[in-house]
Structure formats: C-alpha cells, structure tokens
Amino acid sequence: MASDERFPTRCIHAGQVADPYGAPYVPVYNTTTFGFTDTQALREAAAAPDRRPLYTRYGSNPTIFAVERQLAALEGGEAALVFGAGMAAISAVCMAHGQGGVAVVGNAYGGTLELVSERLPALGWRGHLAFPDEMEALDGVLSAGFGVVIIETPGNPDLAVLDIGAVAEAAHRAGALLVVDSTFASPVNQNPLALGADLVVHSATKYLGGHSDLTAGAVMGPAALLEPVAGWRKTLGQTPSPETAALLARSLRTLDVRMQRHNANAQRIAEAMANHPAVRQVHYPGLPDHPDHALARQQMRAFGGMLSLTLEGDAAGAMAMVDALELFLNAPSLGGVESLVTQPVMTSHADLDERERARRGIGETMVRLSVGLEDADDLIADLEQALARAG
C-alpha cells in the first residue's frame, strides 16, 4: 500500500496482501509450523524467517507478519515486532540493546521500574531510575554510559509530558538509544520515531487492543535495531499466538475512531473535574494549566483518554470515592472501550516506598481514570455522584 495514505486508511489497509479467496484480511494461520516441498525450499525459508512462514514461535507466521506490517505503518516505522505482552516487548528491547545498562527517566509503569531496578540488576546489569526532578541535569545522569534510555510520555500516572526530541539528543550525546513507551498516547496522538526516538514500545493490551480482551506488546523502529530484539523474542518464546495477532489486527482497524472518542471524552471530563471543589488537581495535558500543556501541543495531535485526579481529603476518602463509582470499573488496566478507575498506590505503583512515591508526585488521594467510549455526560454524572457520596 502507498506509504502516503492517511492514518485512518492505514489502520484498515496496511499490512494486507491479496488473498486467493478474496478475504479482506489475512486470516488466522493457526498453525505452529509450515511445510516445504523439498529441502532446498526449507533452507531458503530458514535463511529468511522474518519474511517466509516457517515456525510460529520465531514470529514467522503470515498472521503475525500482517499485524507487524500494520503496526509499523501506524507508527511510521520501517518495521515492527509483536509480542505476547507489553512487558515482553520492553524486556526484549533491554536484553537486545541494554548491555551497557538501562536508565528509566521520569515516571513510568511500575513493571518497567521493577524490570530496571530489580530484574536486570539481579543479572548483573546496570539499572538506574532517574527521578522526574532530575530532567534538568540529564547529561550528568546519562554520562554513566547506559545502552538504553526509556521514557514514558505521557507518563504513568501523573500524565507528565517529556520532550522526546530533547531527551533523544541527551541520550544520543551519551551514546544510548532512546526508547519511548507511547502506550498512553497511541499512534493516533503521537509518533515518537518522527520526534527523534530510536524505538517505540506499546502495551498493545491497552489502546491498540482496545477491548480489554487481549494481552500483547509491540516495538516499532528501524529493521536493523529490531533484528537483535527478534532474536531475544525467539529464544525467550515471547511471540503471541496467531489468534492474538489476528485479534490485535482486528482492533487496529478501529483505532482511529476509538481514539477520537477517548480524546474527546477525557477532555470533557478533565474540564468538568477542574472546577469541582472536591478535586485539588486534574492531571491532563489537554488542560491549559497543565505544566506541560505547551509541549504537549507541540508533540501530540491530541491528549489521550488517560487522566488522574488528586482529590481533597485523605486516602480513605479517595477509596470511598472509587468504591462509589458505578460506571467506572475498579481495575488495573487502561485503554479499553469501558471506563476504568484505579488508585496507583494500590496497583501499578504499590511496590514503591512512600518516599519514592512522593518524589514521583504519586499521592495517596490520586485516582487514575481510563476514560472509555461511554457518553461523556454519563461519566461526568457518575464521577459527581461518587465525589458527593464520598463526602
């Protein structure tokens, strides 16, 4: 397909190949292996398993190839790899490129923090967590010679926006690759590769899957950087099943329309909550008084479906508010068609001690919302009744 197709067209047509029976999409090749007419044909396939179907764990399966072409087209990357989970994608990138050490700069998903601060050091690898307040002194932080720098923007759970171009320059000055976790934004709202990132990772479990019914991950970027990542995916057995790949491909066809509603609903809710007396602060980059609003306007097309509220009162009050919600399901994920609520201190950042949480701006009364596709007025009414009931 032509590379200049616009985003909604790419969502639907990218990655497809002509089917002998006229199927509009590459079907689910639900097999573990592929046979050959003779040994010479097998040897040719084995020499290029990234292009010819051979063995599904290697990722060499037509259904997996198709969703990878689609993912690459959506991020504007040369190539993509799909994984069985977002954490599988992030781990494989670290294994492939992080021999010199891995640094996470700013806030990030708790699983990424755990990987870098505990799992990699357990193998003897250097892992470093740079706090959000160290951004100004980034060159000093990165001078230790890390192989990989990871950032998440917008960040989890405070929705801080980091300057991808500026961090990429600092990472490159220090000889590191910049990997951006763009899960919160989705490729509809932001394309980090175009802003200077070397690789983009997504928990495809979230907006890319979009229905809370699949677990997957993705990495997009130049083929040369993805080749060693594919090697780790193969040996660690991190490839998703063909059914999951096909379900993800199905979901990507509606990504653009879903994100438009996520964006609009979250903006409406952020504006409504900004004036609520029980809400001390709304963390949403689409609000003009968000500290990173100007930067967000420069590097994002829209601001996404995630927002956090810091409530007045105490932890018990925040818990009472969450428990009083009727439409928002209390569940630790995001990006589905249904609205979810979570308290980061109970879920994604439960393993951090109090001092570290404070330095990351994650308070006990912080409530994170994943705004779904319901009617915005119904969601606002639900939040208002829960805040009233919680007192």
Which residues belong to the active site? 57, 109, 181, 206
Residue 183 touching ligand PLP (CB under 6 A): yes
Q: Which is nearer to ligand PLP, 54 or 162 (CB)?
A: 162
Distance separating alpha carbons of residues 132 and 121, to the nearest angstrom: 21
- Closest distance of CB 287 from ligand PLP, Å: 21
Is 87 a residue that touches ligand PLP (CB under 6 A)? yes
- How many whole angstroms separate alpha carbon 219 and alpha carbon 43? 28
Among positions 296-355, residues that touch ligand PLP (CB under 6 A) are: none
Distance (Å, rounded) from C-alpha 98 to C-alpha 91? 10
What's the sign of the alpha-carbon dihedral 306, 76, 251, 249?
Answer: negative
Assess contact for 220 and 183: CB atoms under 8 A: no
Does 259 interact with ligand PLP (rule: CB under 6 A)? Answer: no
Of 203, 212, 238, 310, the one binding ligand PLP (CB under 6 A) is: 203
Return the range that interacts with ligand PLP (CB under 6 A); candidates 57-65, 81-89, 142-150, 240-248. 81-89
Residue from 152, 163, 256, 292 touching ligand PLP (CB under 6 A): that is 152
Residue 269 one-letter amino acid: I
Q: How far is CA 357 from CA 12, 18, 44, 237, 306, in A?
A: 41, 52, 53, 34, 19
Asked if 255 and 74 count as a contact pair (C-beta separation under 8 A), the reply is: yes
**CB-nearest residue to ligand PLP:** 86
* Smallest distance, ligand PLP to C-beta of residue 215, A: 5
Tell me: does residue 365 bind ligand PLP (CB under 6 A): no
What gap in Å lies between CA 54 and CA 91, rounded to an integer?
A: 24
158 belongs to the binding site for ligand PLP (CB under 6 A):
no
d(CA 21, CA 31): 19
What single letter denotes the amino acid at residue 147?
G
- Establish if 85 lies at the interface with ligand PLP (CB under 6 A): yes
Using CB under 6 A as the binding rule, whether residue 217 contacts ligand PLP is answered as: yes
List the beta strands (DSSP E) in 131-278.
Answer: 148-152, 177-181, 199-203, 217-221
Number of residues located near ligand PLP, criterion CB under 6 A: 14
Which of 91, 153, 156, 342 binds ligand PLP (CB under 6 A)? It is: 156
Scan for tokens 């497809």, then name that residue. Answer: 16
Which residues fall within 8 angstroms of residue 263, CB to CB, at 6 or more apart?
A: 188, 189, 286, 302, 303, 304, 305
Site string for ligand PLP, 100-139 (x = CB under 6 A): ---------x-x----------------------------
Site residues, ligand PLP (CB under 6 A):
85-87, 109, 111, 152, 156, 181, 183-184, 203, 205, 215, 217
